[in-house]
Amino acid sequence: MNDAFALTFAPTTWRHRCAAALLAAVIGASVWPVHASNSSTDGETAPAQALTAPDDAPIPAVPDLSALRTALTEFHCAELEVAVGKDQRIAISGLTAGDTDPDSLALLAQDFLTGQRAAVEIERVSPALCEPLTLIGPFRASNAGSAASLSIRFKEAAGTSFVDGQDLMFDIVAPDFPAHLQVDYFTSDGDVIHLLPNPLEISGRVESGAVRRLGERGAGGRFWSVGPPYGHELIVVVASPAPLFAAPRPEAEAVASYLPALKQALDSAAPATVATARFLKTRAP
């Protein structure tokens, strides 16, 4: 069993925003009706008219969301999801490292949702994570339009934080062609760890549609555990017909040194190359 390569770097400070909620109680006054009767010529009283409650607002039909999802991929520095609630209302949520504005997203959604305004809830992460996402933006867009797309799968539910000391393990589903994977972990404090290839797994080749698991203890490959600094971090995967780099990169290096090399490699990559990315959040025990 090899030693764990901890994702541990210098501490950083994160600001936490808290919102206070004010509960307002509205007490409605009871109104007692006064009945007035008008006598008709035959001495009978006209019946009172019953008040009927207005019908409930109709539940809107669920529109086709494929065009909206495609439009959201244009926000290169964000990871956005569209969901339909139990009341059939549309909600956009996710994370952004850029200047994505909730109001702009709501207005964009109106172009695709007839008679509806989507609820938008996004969380901002370090702007430093925007640059790698911008570089792979065109390749993410190509991947989103693929029938069998490259993807990253965690066993943890979406939004679950990785706790200090927890193993970082996840699956990569290959695209619909034999590919070489370049898997990078961008930290919140400006470093990048190359998860694949690595000194114990020098080949990132996968068959079409295959599943490659990274970080599993006892499997003979490299494994990692979460460490400080904590916060939102980023995994980027590029799948290309040939290895992205002719020679292995250092297992860990500064993002400022790596991004120019990544840009050069992507500029000369084959047209079939695709990419994907996932944010994850780490925290103290």
Q: 205-253: per-residue pLDDT in tens?
A: 999 999 999 999 988 899 999 999 999 999 999 999 999 999 989 999 9
Q: What is the pLDDT, as a whole number, of residue 17? A: 30
> Which tokens hold the place of 44?
């009978």
Residue 78, helix vs strand vs coil: strand
Mean pLDDT (the chain, rounded): 80
Residue 148 has pLDDT above 50, yes or no: yes
Q: What is the pLDDT, as a whole number, of residue 13? A: 32
Q: DSSP letter for 101, please.
A: -
The structure's pTM equals 0.74
What topology does CATH give the domain 127-283? Immunoglobulin-like (2.60.40)
Dmax over CA atoms of the chain, in Å, equals 106
Q: What is the pLDDT, as a whole number, of residue 279? A: 95
pLDDT tens digits, one per residue of 231-242: 999 999 999 999
pLDDT tens digits, one per residue of 152-189: 999 887 778 999 999 999 999 999 999 999 999 999 88
Residue 203 and residue 243: Cα distance in Å, rounded?
9
Residue with tokens 């079409």: 208
pLDDT tens digits, one per residue of 74-97: 888 988 888 887 777 888 988 999
pLDDT tens digits, one per residue of 109-127: 888 877 677 889 989 999 9
Query: Which range has highest mean pLDDT (9-23, 59-73, 258-272)?
Result: 258-272
pLDDT tens digits, one per residue of 3-57: 444 464 333 333 333 333 322 333 333 333 333 334 344 444 444 444 454 555 5
Torsion of CA 143, 149, 152, 155, to 10 degrees: 150
Rounded percentage of the chain residues whose pLDDT exceeds 90: 50
Determine phi and psi for 85, rounding to 5 degrees. -80, 175
What architecture is the 66-124 domain classified under in CATH?
2-Layer Sandwich (3.30)
Would you list the domain boundaries of the chain?
Answer: 66-124, 127-283
